[in-house]
Amino acid sequence: MVPITFLDRDRSILAFNERVLDWARRDDVPLLERLRFLCIVSSNLDEFFEVRAVSHLTAFEGSEQKGTCTAASFKAISGIAHDMVARQYALYNDELLPAFGRQGIRIVSHGERNALQRRWVRAYFERAVRPLLVPVGLDPSHPFPQVANKSLNFIVRLGGRDAFGRENEIAIVKVPRVLPRLIPMTHRGGGEGRLFLSLSSVIRAHLADLFPGRKVGEFSQFRVTRHSDLEVDEDDVKNLRTALRLGLEQRHYGQAVRLEVSAGCSEFLSGFLLTQFNLPALALYRVPGPVNLVRLTQLVDLVNDPQLLFPRHKPCYPRQLQPGQSFFERLQQGDVSIHQPFESFDGVLAFLREAVNDPKVLAIKQTIYRTGADSELMLLLREAVRRGKEVTVVVELKARFDEEANINWAEMLESIGAQVVYGVMGLKTHAKMLLVTRRQGRRLVRYAHLSTGNYNPGTARLYTDISYLTADPLLTSDIDHVFVHLASHSRLPKLNRLLLAPFQLHTRLLEKIDALAQAALRGKDTRIVVKTNALTDEDLILALVRAGQCGVRIDLIVRGACMLPAQVPGVTDNIRVRSVIGRFLEHSRVFYFRVEKDDTLYLSSADWMNRNMLRRVELAWPVTDPVLRQRLIDECLVAYLHDGRDAWDLQPNGSYARVKPTDPAQRHGAQAALMARYSASKLRER
């Protein structure tokens, strides 16, 4: 095999955010949606620093080097991140704010306020803000306070002496999270149009009021990002839930990895903060605007002008289902797939609701990864327990940034008598499965739901995913074996249809790729198409490269990080990689393999990453119905390979180029086409 050089994973993650940022730059995107995409990029960058940056920073400081994390890698990703942040704020200040102004929507700064508005702001400050602020002057008995991850704060340099005659010059003002970051100004505040105030500008205008008798000199807002990937030593844990609760209390105060300050922050104050947080100069980000663009998402909800938003998308009820029809009767006729968010997640809720209300249903088993804090699905499980059904829930407590919600749901269900288990120590349970056991005559019949996504009605409206309902006895038997394995840790029998990580999923995928490579060498027509969120597993990448060099035609639709270099002459000529960034977050995982006319399609919860293959419980299952399989091929693969509007192709040098078809008729987006298809289907139903 001709050797390859892997692309850098973290640079690939940052490149993905460049593609998201492009949506904020596009003139054909409604104004509030452009702001939303800008905020999404900021949120993604926050998570990148919270999870990925600490190893690079540690290597830069000379403490420890891990794999590709070196001093040079920290400089490289810092350079990319600084450039991206600069372009974000340039877009915000130079394009979005003026565009909002033309719509009569303004975030009024202190310098722009007239006398009436300033009186209104002062009254608001005294009434709603000042009572919650406690400025802390620093001295030996008042050391630098604990500053929470991503919180808004001010640093102030004071002149004169304090009440005790001392010249302690530095003070910190921590801003509580409960305060809204954007405040609508009522008409009594004066001015025309829709006017808003940023909380930081309100506090900035009244800093002097917080330090009577002192002169406020230099000051700046600041925000520190901390390493927040919750780590628990599972070899030394007797109760994982308790250990995670303790860990959650410390998450907000992990190692500092990034410091954001106002663009005009003095060298003295920025240097003081860098010293306090033990950060190098490269970790300092000077921003000409609010230090937390993420919180500007509030403006989207506050304005809520339909003319400035995407046309409302209302998913249709799943095409293969009829409202009111029994799921148990329907699934005896064949499997059902639901393509979210084009079809509604309500079909999944209706399935569980029928199971809860049906007296013939004896048991319900479900995995929980991300459901959200307010979940109808969890309330249905509670009702199932109340009705006397056997309810078993496998809760993944370590779902990143959802740990607290999952712990709360686990405790609630356990308290009312549900059987709650936490999977396998050392492995995240990322598989999405729901199993219903029903008495039908003298038999017990199983019905199941599997998904490429989460059991979260909120994200089901925003993410593209496939829900799959089945009564296939071979598949449902496999699912039952997996539940027993997760609860009892007993050995798994040989599975009929499921591929399960960390056992055989990785191996079987490698075998399938290698089998196609051998078939291609024999002159067979071979094809691989994979849709996934990330491709970073080196073994799978090498297998794909070998297959491509043997003659297999390979298309990879990878939304985010991809370490496989595509279209490199003489190395990966047969492999194309494209990323589709649309209105909805691409999230479905679909794997297609074909030799001549013999094809196989799998749906999966797993990305092609080492952690998913070897350190998680993941599922992949085949779609055996040929009609259903063709529908999924058309909608999940073919549509995206022909996307001429929202697709980006990976270039041989590792960069991405947005697709620009020469024929205007080809300038369609896959998601827009699917929305139109399902809207037309809804109209036909009427």
- Asked if the structure places residue 441 within a domain, the reply is yes
Q: Does residue 431 contact residue 505 with C-beta atoms inside 8 Å?
A: no
pLDDT at position 250 is 64
> What is the distance of C-alpha 416 from the center of its chain?
32
Question: Same domain for 485 and 540?
Answer: no
What is the rounded distance in angstroms from the CA atom of residue 468 to the CA atom of residue 278?
50
Q: Does residue 151 contact residue 222 with C-beta atoms inside 8 Å?
A: no
What is the rounded distance in angstroms from the CA atom of residue 57 to the CA atom of residue 443?
60
- Asked if the structure places residue 312 within a domain, the reply is no
Provide the phi-psi class of 391: left if phi over 0, else alpha when psi is between -120 and 50, else beta. Answer: beta
Q: How many CB atoms sit inside 10 A of residue 624's CB? A: 16
Last residue in a domain, options 458, 492, 526 = 492
Question: Same domain for 477 and 541?
Answer: no
CATH number at residue 290: 3.30.1840.10
- Asked if the structure places residue 186 within a domain, the reply is yes
Q: Does residue 451 contact residue 466 with C-beta atoms inside 8 Å?
A: yes
Beta strands 526-532 and 589-595 are antiparallel
What is the rounded distance in angstroms from the CA atom of residue 197 to the CA atom of residue 562?
41
Question: Same domain for 597 and 534?
Answer: yes
Q: In which residue are the tokens 């998601």 written?
A: 671
- Asked if the structure places residue 593 within a domain, the reply is yes
pLDDT at position 456 is 87
* This prediction's pTM: 0.93
Question: Same domain for 418 and 435?
Answer: yes
- Asked if the structure places residue 159 within a domain, the reply is yes
Tokens read off for 224: 């520190």
What is the rounded distance in angstroms from the CA atom of residue 533 to the CA atom of residue 560?
6
Catalytic residue ranges: 430
What is the rounded distance in angstroms from the CA atom of residue 165 to the CA atom of residue 555?
72
Number of domains in the chain: 3
Which backbone phi and psi does 560 adopt, to 5 degrees? Answer: -115, -120
Q: Does residue 394 contact residue 406 with C-beta atoms inside 8 Å?
A: no
Last residue in a domain, options 270, 303, 336 = 303
Question: Same domain for 297 and 441?
Answer: no
Give a three-class secondary structure readout of 507-559. HHHHHHHHHHHHHHHCCCCEEEEEEECCECCHHHHHHHHHHHHHCCEEEEEEC
Question: Same domain for 368 and 511?
Answer: no
Torsion angle of the four alpha carbons 119, 124, 129, 131, in this order, in degrees rounded to the nearest 10: 90
Q: Does residue 635 contact residue 339 with C-beta atoms inside 8 Å?
A: yes
CATH number at residue 428: 3.30.870.10
What is the rounded distance in angstroms from the CA atom of residue 250 to the CA atom of residue 248?
5
Question: Same domain for 34 and 112?
Answer: yes
Question: Same domain for 230 and 337?
Answer: no
- Asked if the structure places residue 205 within a domain, the reply is yes
Q: What three-state secondary structure class fits 631? A: helix
What is the rounded distance in angstroms from the CA atom of residue 588 to the CA atom of residue 101?
38
Length of the chain: 686
What is the rounded distance in angstroms from the CA atom of residue 371 to the CA atom of residue 409?
9
Q: Amino acid identity of 235?
A: D
pLDDT at position 686 is 47
- Asked if the structure places residue 315 within a domain, the reply is no
Q: Amino acid identity of 56?
A: H
Question: Same domain for 218 and 331?
Answer: no
Residues linked to residue 622 through DSSP beta bridges, in sequence order: 602
In the chain, which stretches have pLDDT less than 50?
235-238, 686
Q: Does residue 393 contact residue 413 with C-beta atoms inside 8 Å?
A: yes
Q: What are the helix and strand counts (H, E) for the chain?
A: 21, 27
Last residue in a domain, options 444, 473, 492 = 492
Q: Does residue 461 contact residue 327 with C-beta atoms inside 8 Å?
A: no
- Asked if the structure places residue 319 within a domain, the reply is no
Question: Same domain for 332 and 480?
Answer: yes
Question: Same domain for 481 and 528?
Answer: no
Question: Same domain for 176 and 143?
Answer: yes
Domain span at residue 677 reads: 501-685
Which DSSP letter does residue 66 get? B
